[in-house]
Amino acid sequence: MPAGFLEEHESPEDGARREAREEACAEILLDGLLAVYTVAHISQVQLMYRARLAAPEFAAGPESLDVQLFKWNEIPWDELAFPSVKWALRHYQETKHLAVFAPFSNPLPRNSANP
């Protein structure tokens, strides 16, 4: 999942599109804010967007070794480096058929009162 930091004077939406171009040589159409995750231990707030490819072309960009699309049942869950990527994929799965939804935030820990 393309991700990165915003450039100075860049909007979050423009940053998302730029990161997709840099990392996956992909032009994307944003389809709304999916989630806002707080990763306090590294002082980050991550904005995740739903998006779709504007054209079918994509490739590894200068910041990537490999880029692939996966069917849902083929996602290599154990190889995903960051919990927020797993959260975003699961949150996308919950909203993929919805035109309107409230953005998600960090999932509750599994040992919380709400499993």
CA trace torsion 76, 81, 83, 86 (10° rounding):
-30
pLDDT digits (tens, 9 = 90+) for 17-74: 999 999 999 999 999 999 999 999 999 999 999 999 999 999 999 889 999 999 999 9
Report the number of distinct structural domains present in the chain: 1
**What pLDDT is recorded for position 115?**
45
**What pLDDT is recorded for position 112?**
53
Question: Does some domain include residue 110?
Answer: no
**What pLDDT is recorded for position 68?**
94
pLDDT digits (tens, 9 = 90+) for 61-114: 988 999 999 999 999 999 999 999 999 999 999 999 999 999 999 998 776 554
Closest C-alpha to 17, from 29, 31, 8: 29
Coil/strand/helix, residue 65: coil
CATH no. for residue 48?
Answer: 3.90.79.10
Question: Does some domain include residue 6?
Answer: no
Q: Give the count of beta carbons closer than 10 Å to the beta carbon of residue 24.
A: 22
**What pLDDT is recorded for position 109?**
79
Question: Does some domain include residue 111?
Answer: no
Mean pLDDT across the chain:
93
